[in-house]
Amino acid sequence: MQTICRKRWLNHFVHWYWIHCYWRKRTLSKIANQMKKFIFLIAIAIGSMVCTAARAQTTKEAYKQELRTYMESSGSTASFDTMVNQLFMMAGGIPAEKKAEIRTQAFDKLVDLMTPVYQKNITLEDLKEINKFYQTPAGKRISGAQPKIAVESTQVGQQWGMWLQSAIQTAAK
């Protein structure tokens, strides 16, 4: 009787252990497959983010280059040069090599700071079209005239402001 109970108990234990191992193996196999799928999806997501970041970086660099071209061809650098030269004169005693280095760094920094401002308002394609215009004879003429127009416009703006102020004061009486 005792032998029968032991056999039964042993038989139950072996049966339970076999079922347990079978289900555990099956469950572990499912978990392993799920983990493989998860790792594969993570790898794809990371890969696509890297590609997107690289593409965005390339686009940003292309935009910076177009903006630099725009600033150089539109005459914006003339006012930049005037301001930088005034600052150099006020500082005094800076060697020519150091001035050139500072001028390059300052222009690069200006382009870096202006890029987001222009990107909010002008697309890369529009900026390319504007740059094409500045390569035409009419674009080159307006670019060359911009510094003179800016100086004269400032004087005209001051005269206009004084006239407007007196007109408003007269109307207020």
Quick check: is 93 in a domain?
A: yes
Quick check: is 44 in a domain?
A: yes
pLDDT for 81 equals 81
Go through the chain and tell me how many residues it has.
Answer: 173
- If one counts the domains in the chain, the total is 1
Is residue 115's pLDDT more than 70? yes
Task: Please choose, from the candidates 111, 26, 30, 31, the residue with its C-alpha nearest in 3D space to the C-alpha of residue 69.
Answer: 111
Quick check: is 155 in a domain?
A: no
Quick check: is 85 in a domain?
A: yes
Quick check: is 21 in a domain?
A: yes
Quick check: is 130 in a domain?
A: yes
Q: What residue numbers bound the domain in which 125 lies? A: 8-136
Quick check: is 70 in a domain?
A: yes
Is residue 154's pLDDT more than 70? yes
Q: What is the pTM of this model?
A: 0.56
Give per-residue pLDDT as tens, 62-77: 999 999 998 888 877 7
Using pLDDT thresholds of 50, 70 and 90, give the confidence band for residue 51.
Answer: low
Using pLDDT thresholds of 50, 70 and 90, give the confidence band for residue 21.
Answer: low
Q: What is the rounded average pLDDT for all residues in the chain?
A: 78
Kind and range of the H or E element at 95?
none
Q: Are 66 and 114 a contacting pair, CB within 8 Å?
A: no
Quick check: is 165 in a domain?
A: no
- pLDDT, average across residues 124-131: 92
